[in-house]
Each structure stands twice: as C-alpha cells, then as structure tokens.
Structure 1
Amino acid sequence: MPESHAEPLQIARYAPGEGGAPGESFGLHTDADIAGGVLRAATLIVFLSDGFGGGQTVFPRVSLSRGGALPPLQKLAAAGGAALLLKQLDSLAQYCAPTSSALRITPRKGAGLLFFSVHPDGSPDLDAVHGGCPPTGGVKWIAQQWFSLEGLYPTTRQWRPPRKADTHGRPEPSCAVDEENVPAARGGERFAAQMSEQVLRRLREQLGSAGVPPETAQ
C-alpha cells in the first residue's frame, strides 16, 4: 500500500467506560466506506498505553473457536432485515465479554495492529467488522491511520472494482457498488435492494470519512 494513500494520523483517547466510536449509535463498524467516495483498504492502530483492563479491539467475525461469534452480516439482514442487523451491531458488549469466542486484541504499549477491510480484488470485506472495547481502570490512547484505495481504481462518487479480461482477452464491464448492489463478504450473495438501502444509510453514518474528528476514531 503506497504511503501516499495514507490519511492523516489521528490520536484518540478513551476514558474508562468509553468504547466503540463516541457518539455513534452502535460500536461495531467497518472502516471500508462502501457507500461513499473513499474506500479504506487498511487500518493501522498503534497502542500508546496499556496497564488497564479491557480496551481490546474485537473482531466478532473472527472466532477463536469453530464458527464466528457474529453471523455473516448479509445473512443477518436476509433473516431479520435491517432491524436485526443493526441490533447485532449495537451489541459490542457481548463480544467484549471474557466468555465471548470473538478474537480480541489486547492493547500493549508500542504494539501495532494492521488489518484490511477489503478483499484482494478491492471489494469490501464485511467480515472485517470490528469495535473497541471500553477500558477499565485507566485511559486508553491509540494512534490510528487509514489507507485508502482512492486513485488506485477509477472512481466517480462510487467505487468500481478493477476490470478483468474474459476468455477472449476483452475486459468485462465493471459494476458499481451502490445502495442496490452490495458485494457479499463471501460467495455471490447480495442484499435485497430495499434492505441494503436501509442498512447502508445507517452504516454510512457510522463508518466515518476523512473529516471525522480524531476523538471519533476506532
């Protein structure tokens, strides 16, 4: 990932009891803005403090046991609509609990955490949904930097995947990602158009953009 695609470094402070992104309606989110003009491909978090409880970065779709702690987002939406999906995204606390099977990265001063929010072909990876658990008994400080794909692929307001050649060497038409056409994190499933419009409207409010204040990072 070229350094030129790095967004400005942000510093975030979390007081005891603060988790997720302050001011958001739910704590789980993905850094890939699938509805906006900037597609964040990678996130780098450097932990600047430790010595407190909690404060882990949790990935509910990555489980330490068989099966994910959080079902695939598109399956949740298909089963119960936007209401069920948003309810699960609101449930950060259950994935921060010691009994949860979700992957939790414990802050260690000076350590870095790098993860990707897109697949190798540039399509958003909804399995990268994550959140920040509230610290206890101390203040959590992090430095965070996002890396975007803006400029690596032809874009207008919406992201378009790179074209690939067919069996005759001709490029296949690219397909825009919009509110009626959302790539699944795995396989070829797609959200229903009406449902995806509702979900993306809410997700777009939470995913953040280059103008988000530093205190809302994570």
Structure 2
Amino acid sequence: MTKTSPENNGLRAAIIPVTPFQQNCTLLWDDATKVGAVVDPGGDLDQIKAAIEEVGIKVEKIVLTHGHIDHAGGAAELKETLGVPIEGPHGADRFLLDNLAKQGASYGIPARPVTPDRWLDEGETVTVAGHVFDVLHCPGHSPGSVVLVNHENKLIMMGDVLFRGSIGRTDFPYGDHDALITAIKTKLLTLGNDYAFICGHGPTSTIGNERRTNPFLT
C-alpha cells in the first residue's frame, strides 16, 4: 500500500495494487473524520480490507470509474461485506458490469455482476467524506468511463483514461480512440498543470507533465 497526500485540506489517499493487472485500487478519506471511500476494488479483497483496517477508516461508499474486471470485479462482494452503496460509472458501462463473471472467467479472476446504486453523469458530483469530486464522462477506453476531479485539492481519480506517458487502451470492440483523445484534450488538459492524478495502473502524474511529455497528446 502506497500512501499519497494531496494538499493539506484533509483529503488523503492510499493505493493498493490488486489483481494480476496490478490495478490501483485507491482508498480516499478525510484525515479528521476517518470517513472515506474505496475506488475501483477490482479484486484481492483481503488486501483491500487489510488496508482499510491499517488506515483505520470507516468506508461510506464504493466508487467505480468504469466496468472492467480489474476495476470492478470485487465490487459486489465488498458492497455486501461493508454494507455500503456503489456509485459509478456512467450507465453506458452497464453491459460490462452485467458480464463481470464472464470477464473474470477469461482472466481467472472471480467476480459477480454488479448494479451500482447510482450511475454517474457528466456534471454531477461525488462526495467522499465531504470532499466534492466533479464527474467528467470520458468515453473511449470504455463507453462509460468517468473521471473524478476534486478542485480543492487538485486531485483527479483518472481510472484508465490517461496514464503517465500513455492513454487507455481502445482496441476493444467498443473502444473509440478518437473519442478518448477528444475527452482528454477537451476535459482534462483544460485543467491546471498542477492537478495531480491517480490512474488505474502505474505511477501517478500531473496534467502538466502529460501535457509536456505524453507522446499520445503531442
């Protein structure tokens, strides 16, 4: 588990790499209240629950950025274990969440279908322990991928839209490279260079770093 602290406004984050894909499941919480959320519990729930216990937080919700197995595979079971609602992704990923068991069988990851308690749309917000994240619908990697932006702390939960030095895969039957690039350029690169992001895999980065160096955006 890797802890990362955004600005000093009480919001904290910890990354737990899970599944054979080393997906960055993330805990977000408020340092004062110790209330928080689990973002993208793809699997390896024992590791996620151990991290929750280590940090000592009370989880109020699960948030999904999109419907792929490595991000959502553990959501149904974790929801039952914690007794909390699931928010996200956009409803266009319903078909992926409905077929999580089939997705999992292809990769040896146990999973069950899951229906979020709340689908997310562009312009809505998600609140984690009082910290507000704006919802951006950024299709391309999957039709219902969402990105969550907390302006107070300049922190972005990126999912698999943008990575350090790369972008989300679009070689799926439902992938759309042009839509992904358009979403990144019109919705993410308009943010300040000092906005940091936690992506679905690999190291964190900033909007400024990707604007300058990402070969897919130059």
Length-normalised TM-score, structure 1:
0.30
**Bigger fraction of residues in strand:** 2
Higher Cα Rg, which structure: 1
Q: Which is helix-richer, 1 or 2?
A: 2
Scaled by the length of structure 2, the TM-score of the pair is: 0.30
